Amino acid sequence: MSKEKVVLAYSGGLDTSVCVKWLQDEKNLDVVCVCGNVGQEETGLDAKKRKALDLGVLDCQVLDLRDEFSDEFLTKAIAANSMYENKYPLLSALSRPLLAKKLVEVAHEFGATYVAHGCTGKGNDQVRFEAAVKALDPELKVIAPVREWDLKCRPDEVAYAHAHNVPVPEGANDNPYSIDDNLWGRAIECGHLEDPWNEPLDDAWVMTKNPEDTPDTPTYTEIEFEAGKPVAVDGKKMKLSEIIIALNKISGDNGFGRLDLVEDRLVGLKSRECYEVPGALTLITAHKALEDICVEGDLLKAKIKLEQDWATAVYNGQWYSPLKNALDAFMADTQKFVTGTVRLKFFKGNCHVVGRKSPFSLYDYGLATYDRDTTFDEKASAGFIEIDTLSLKTWAKVQGPSSAAAQA
Ligand code: ARG
């Protein structure tokens, strides 16, 4: 009788290589690996595929997901100015639902009973993988080896790998950090960073230059948007994945895009995280500036509130959920007229918006100007204030600080 099958989210690193062996030996399963390219720095995906095949997996599918990630996920993140707790642009939270979707597709292709991932039991990513899998196919079962096995730390895993003929990547014990990266940026945690009082060391950063070592003259860049989607940088039309790569370079070279923060994980603990998100922060900064002139004021205020709900839903693994779908529909509606160009100035770790224009701009020079020929009727403001403060005046008379009630 043939064995049951499991589809594993495989990165080719130590954790997921040990997962392959563990699923084969401890669970007696045939393993199919899925290795998604979402634009991570890590290269050598072919070598990783060979490594998986050497471990005896049924198949190892290396999928180039960069455009799907950009077009289906990052476009929505930009529309929602994605920023969890107003500070974290959600890079890991955005890639997990796409990887989970691929796991489910490959599970169907191979008739697998299980999907598996290498996430730990105290992070958010386990929730994101599993919630997405449940939403896409509630019948599929999930195995999380790292939650089950007794390998407490990296040296334990290295020892397991040696004992079971799993090749250990060169320097597997050297990197002091836990890294997750993709087109949208790079997350750095653990090691020296676990004490929130410790300043990040230089070796934490790879996408961004130390602002002290950046050019002494500013760099200007123009980003063009059409209906909320970035379409060109400095006049050059590019697809979104290329725009992000280009902006990661321009902003990173100017030292922009480093974050050092403490965030609230879904599982209830606070964690210190450093992020490098040069392209993501640049695009969100520019996109917000364009919305400022293209989105009507009441709508903009409502959108800013709902952006937090969108980010929380995505952070918490609700990418495929009715709430997130409805919020996406709202966000999409707000983007219809977000077309135009934003001019940015990078200098020594900063990125400032220095210009914005749009064919649909609601900024009316005639209304805004303090010149004599303004079209704004200042006399009308007296009546406006009279009516607008009616409720406040009524309150002031009856309950306000100088009212008889307050004096009593
Ligand atoms: N805290 C972030 C999140 O939950 C990043 C997690 C990334 N994982 C890592 N191994 N550094 O989205």
pLDDT in tens, the chain (408 residues): 789 999 999 999 899 999 999 999 999 999 999 999 999 987 788 889 999 999 999 999 999 999 999 999 999 999 999 999 999 999 999 999 999 999 999 999 999 999 999 999 999 999 999 999 999 999 999 999 999 999 988 889 999 999 999 988 776 667 789 999 999 999 999 999 999 999 999 999 999 999 999 999 999 999 999 999 999 999 999 999 999 999 999 999 999 999 999 999 999 999 999 999 999 999 999 999 999 999 999 999 999 999 999 999 999 999 999 999 999 999 999 999 999 999 999 999 999 999 999 999 999 999 999 998 899 999 999 999 999 999 999 999 999 999 999 998
What is the predicted pLDDT for the residue at 224?
98
Retrieve residue 93's tokens: 């939270």
What is the predicted pLDDT for the residue at 46?
87
> pLDDT tens for residues 29-61?
999 999 999 999 877 888 899 999 999 999 999
Do the beta carbons of residue 174 and residue 149 sit within 8 Å? no
SS (H, E, C) the chain: CCCCEEEEECCCCHHHHHHHHHHHHCCCCEEEEEEEECCCCCCCHHHHHHHHHHCCCCEEEEEECHHHHHHHHHHHHHHCCCCECCCECCHHHHHHHHHHHHHHHHHHHHCCCEEECCCCCCCCHHHHHHHHHHHHCCCCEEECHHHHCCCCCHHHHHHHHHHCCCCCCCCCCCCCCEEEEECCEEEEECHHHHCCCCCCCHHHCCCCCCHHHCCCCCEEEEEEEECCEEEEECCEECCHHHHHHHHHHHHHHCCCCEEEEEEECCCCCEEEEEEECHHHHHHHHHHHHHHHHHCCHHHHHHHHHHHHHHHHHHHCCCCCCHHHHHHHHHHHHHCCCCCEEEEEEEECCEEEEEEEECCCCCCCHHHHCCCCCCCCCCCHHHHHHHHHCHHHHHHHHHCCCCCHHHHC
Cα distance between residue 261 and residue 256, in whole Å: 16
Do the beta carbons of residue 58 and residue 30 sit within 8 Å? yes
CB atoms within 10 A of CB 313: 21
The residue among 48, 42, 40 whose CA lies nearest residue 20 is 48
What is the predicted pLDDT for the residue at 172?
65
CB within 6 Å of ligand 1 — which residues? 92-93, 124, 178-180, 187, 189, 273
26 alpha carbon to ligand 1 midpoint, in Å?
A: 28
Q: Closest ligand 1 atom to the C-alpha of 177?
A: 11
The residue among 63, 15, 8, 75 whose CA lies nearest residue 39 is 63
Do the beta carbons of residue 61 and residue 34 sit within 8 Å? yes
Percent of the chain with pLDDT over 90: 92
What is the predicted pLDDT for the residue at 349?
98
Q: Closest ligand 1 atom to the C-alpha of 263?
A: 1
361 alpha carbon to ligand 1 midpoint, in Å?
A: 38
37 alpha carbon to ligand 1 midpoint, in Å?
A: 17
The residue among 311, 220, 295 whose CA lies nearest residue 263 is 311
CB atoms within 10 A of CB 75: 17
317 alpha carbon to ligand 1 midpoint, in Å?
A: 13
> pLDDT tens for residues 172-192?
667 789 999 999 999 999 999
43 alpha carbon to ligand 1 midpoint, in Å?
A: 20
What is the predicted pLDDT for the residue at 173?
66
Cα distance between residue 37 and residue 20, in whole Å: 19
Cα distance between residue 338 and residue 361, in whole Å: 9
Backbone angles phi, psi at 40, to 5 degrees: -70, 155
Cα distance between residue 302 and residue 155, in whole Å: 50
Q: Closest ligand 1 atom to the C-alpha of 124?
A: 4
CA dihedral 319→325→328→332, nearest 10 degrees, is 140
Cα distance between residue 19 and residue 146, in whole Å: 8
Any idea which residues carry the catalytic annotation?
Answer: 15, 96, 125, 178
Q: Residue 226: CA atoms inside 13 Å, Cβ hemisphere, count?
A: 7
> pLDDT tens for residues 218-250?
999 999 999 999 999 999 999 999 999 999 999
Cα distance between residue 182 and residue 107, in whole Å: 24
For the chain, the first-to-last Cα distance in angstroms comes to: 89
Mutate to test the pocket of ligand 1, among 41, 273, 274, 319 (most ligand atoms within 8 A of CB): 273
Q: Closest ligand 1 atom to the C-alpha of 179?
A: 11
> pLDDT tens for residues 6-18?
999 999 989 999 9
Do the beta carbons of residue 231 and residue 222 sit within 8 Å? no
Retrieve residue 173's tokens: 């014990």
Q: Per the confidence metrics, is the pTM higher than 0.85? A: yes
